[in-house]
Amino acid sequence: MKVNNINYRTIIGSESKNSIQIIDQTELPHKFVLKEIKTLDDVIHSIQRMCVRGAPLIGVTAAYGFAIALKENQCDEFITKVKEKLISARPTAVNLAWAIEAIAGHVKRVAPTKRYGEAWSYAEKLAEEDIQTNQKIGLHGLDLLKSFKKDKLNILTHCNAGWLATVDYGTALSPIYHAAEFEMDIHVWVSETRPRNQGSSLTAWELEQAGIKHTVITDNAAGYLMQKGEVDCVIVGADRISVDGQVVNKIGTYLKAVVAYENNIPFYVAAPKSTIDAKFICDNHPFEIEYRCGSEVSLITGKLADGSVSTVTLTTSPVLNPAFDLTPSKYISNIICEDGIFNPSSLKDLL
Amino acid sequence: MKVNNINYRTIIGSESKNSIQIIDQTELPHKFVLKEIKTLDDVIHSIQRMCVRGAPLIGVTAAYGFAIALKENQCDEFITKVKEKLISARPTAVNLAWAIEAIAGHVKRVAPTKRYGEAWSYAEKLAEEDIQTNQKIGLHGLDLLKSFKKDKLNILTHCNAGWLATVDYGTALSPIYHAAEFEMDIHVWVSETRPRNQGSSLTAWELEQAGIKHTVITDNAAGYLMQKGEVDCVIVGADRISVDGQVVNKIGTYLKAVVAYENNIPFYVAAPKSTIDAKFICDNHPFEIEYRCGSEVSLITGKLADGSVSTVTLTTSPVLNPAFDLTPSKYISNIICEDGIFNPSSLKDLL
């Protein structure tokens, strides 16, 4: 997608195949900063600090990190260590483990001397596939949006599942970008998404760059707008989807899904098939939610009057910061993936 | 209640009857600042800037403002002007209009020369009555909390309906303060309450001063905690209650109420009878929600590393900032007022 009218992807492998260029998303919306990353440790650090975030992008970044690590050492033992290090970088997004298992499985099938080159090519392939997947999600989602047959559509989204969360196009925002290309009249309610404000910092920034009408609201305001009839549908992404159609996504998704359900508003989850965790069946195997540092709630970063970016303390009280929640399938109208539009109860057919 | 172990009320009339002392709540939790207010315009300004806020406290502050204004001029025409000015200071809290109608009605029944003295006494009486009302709410609420028969209770609250929102004790927090006095083991989930963070800035500060266990969460986390069984009940305040039991309260109340209902968690609204608006019947007379400035969402104030308090810009995107929402009676288990515990469908009996 475009930034100041220049095309970008969130991640690009260097031609010399020994580094990647990422957008440091912790600097947005105040600064657009590109960053070169050259080591495995820096890849892990950038995932943990959320310079790169979003389930699909974490997967691709980790794959590049795996390839970078293999430049030095290609033996099986080392590969196992690298795998473990990367998979434990962030626990929630299944795409990370999925990408690492795929790339490691692939390189183990070739001779050690070829492993580095193969790993790099595989990471590039995953990046390309992510783009194609998201384009397909966008087209299927566009069909859903067209089916409303309304002159103007108000879509609510939570967190950031835009192109910044993927290599390009995004998951939840891909139908919106496709609808805009199709010249539909779209307006997006962007819920701020405390604590890290990915809605107001990333989604609103993306939509502005793309020239799509949008309004930031507090997370608290989503219910009011639904009740008033100001929301035609909700589209969010996902970090992990159980085989029985339950969705782990950014904290606050569950509240919005329940209230959408109460107000008969369709609630869509857009995610690639790789987000479905074949081992995760909610009732038998409950999913552990990631708790992140309380400072994400008690500190916040913004721009001072002099234009400098600073962090201020909001509270010194004790804080609990669950980063994700689980939305039962009952509240989800459809899951949009690269293969089409599915009922959350029929995901088994996709595996 | 106590601040650093010294007893305070949120508002005190001076002995010379020509000024009031308030706590400037916009400075909390970073600074505890007392402020003397001497003119009607400063009273209105302090209500609009939310130096004083909370439906019951707004009512009492306005009554003192009315009295202060009458020191200069006591004629009927002037009284009408003062009434209008005060009632339009903030549109949502019905207690403001209620207090002003009551005090104006009272002084008009006496001779102009006595009006100023009568107004001042009436404002003092309203302040005293508010304290008694809140103590009664606390005792009725305590009965509800005892009825859980649990060793430890986890109570979720939204926004600030503590002593800072009233003259003393609070509405939603009064049962909690009474439970603490009764030595019940209580823990309070304090939802941050974007955009103005009255939860993390005021409620958490109050609870800390009172030595009551509490944890700040993002508004987004409330659903997750309810779903996990970590919330025994929810208690919130109200700005206006319709005769048919629908509750206007801080934006985000509705989301929490719906999800509490879905999880079979009792949802209580604690408010004085003066919060019930006899003219407000939801279906016939829909209530206009107050929209406040978008800068409440896009700017935020906190403490810099050097200890100074500063405001930072979070986003420059367009913002919509509805300040309240309406929770239908279906989602409300009980309304706790000074007369007891009521079903939201039986409020007519109270009027």
Closest partner CB to A312 (pick from B214, B302, B318): B302
Average predicted confidence (pLDDT) for chain A? 95
DSSP-assigned states of every residue in A132-162: HHHHHHHHHHHHHHHTT--SEEEEEEES--S
pLDDT in tens, A253-284: 999 999 999 999 999 999 999 999 988 776 65
C-alpha to C-alpha distance for B247 and B344, rounded to whole angstroms: 9
Closest partner CB to B221 (pick from A298, A313, A322): A322
Say what the pLDDT of residue B279 is.
Answer: 84
C-alpha to C-alpha distance for B86 and B102, rounded to whole angstroms: 13
Bond into A318 cis (ω within 30): no
CB-based contact, B222 to chain A, within 8 Å: yes
Share of chain A above pLDDT 70, in %: 99
CB-based contact, A200 to chain B, within 8 Å: yes
CB-based contact, B254 to chain A, within 8 Å: yes
CB-based contact, B195 to chain A, within 8 Å: yes
Say what the pLDDT of residue B285 is.
Answer: 54
The DSSP bridge partners found for residue B35 are B22
Closest partner CB to B317 (pick from A208, A313, A316): A208
DSSP-assigned states of every residue in B35-99: EEE-SHHHHHHHHHTTSS-SHHHHHHHHHHHHHHHHTT---HHHHHHHHHHHHTT-SS-HHHHHH
Give how far Cα B298 sits from Cα of A164, A297, B29, B215, B293, Å: 21, 16, 20, 25, 9
| B-chain residues near A303 (CB < 8 A) | 312-313
| A-chain residues near B190 (CB < 8 A) | 317
Say what the pLDDT of residue B282 is.
Answer: 67
For range A101-128, the mean pLDDT: 97
For range A4-21, the mean pLDDT: 95
Q: Which residues of B are designated catalytic?
A: 239
C-alpha to C-alpha distance for B231 and B267, rounded to whole angstroms: 10
What does the block give as tokens for A23? 């957008």
C-alpha to C-alpha distance for A244 and B56, rounded to whole angstroms: 48
Share of chain A above pLDDT 90, in %: 93
Dmax over CA atoms of chain A, in Å, equals 63
Dmax over CA atoms of chain B, in Å, equals 63
Q: Please, what are the domains in chain B?
A: 2-130 (1.20.120.420), 150-350 (3.40.50.10470)
Say what the pLDDT of residue A284 is.
Answer: 55
Cα of A13 to nearest chain B Cα, Å: 31
**Nearest Cα residue to A268 out of A171, A188, A202:** A171
Contact assignment for B315 to A201 by CB distance below 8 Å = yes
Say what the pLDDT of residue A93 is.
Answer: 79
ipTM of this complex: 0.95
Asked if residues A44 and A89 have their Cβ atoms less than 8 Å apart, the reply is yes
Say what the pLDDT of residue A38 is.
Answer: 97
Q: How confident is the model at residue A77 (pLDDT cuts 50, 70, 90)?
A: very high
Q: Which of B197, B218, B236, B267 to substitute to test the interface with A, most A CBs within 10 Å?
A: B218
Say what the pLDDT of residue A350 is.
Answer: 83
Per the document, the length of chain B is 351
Chunked into runs of 10 residues, chain B (351 residues) has average pLDDT values of 94 95 96 97 96 95 97 95 95 89 96 96 98 98 97 97 98 98 97 98 98 98 97 97 94 98 98 90 72 97 96 98 96 98 91 80
The structure tokens 């000074």 sit at B338
Say what the pLDDT of residue B93 is.
Answer: 79
Asked if residues B171 and B56 have their Cβ atoms less than 8 Å apart, the reply is yes
pLDDT in tens, A199-247: 999 999 999 999 999 999 999 999 999 999 999 999 999 999 999 999 9
| pTM recorded for the entire structure | 0.95
The DSSP bridge partners found for residue B303 are A313, B309
C-alpha to C-alpha distance for B267 and B260, rounded to whole angstroms: 7
DSSP-assigned states of every residue in A244-303: TS-EEEETTHHHHHHHHHHTT--EEEE--GGGEETT--TTTSPPPPPB--THHHHEEEEE
pLDDT in tens, A140-167: 999 999 999 999 999 999 999 999 999 9
Say what the pLDDT of residue A283 is.
Answer: 63
Enumerate residues 6+ apart whose C-beta is below 8 A from A183: none
| A-chain residues near B255 (CB < 8 A) | 220, 222-223, 255-256, 259
Contact assignment for A29 to B316 by CB distance below 8 Å = yes
Q: How confident is the model at residue A136 (pLDDT cuts 50, 70, 90)?
A: very high
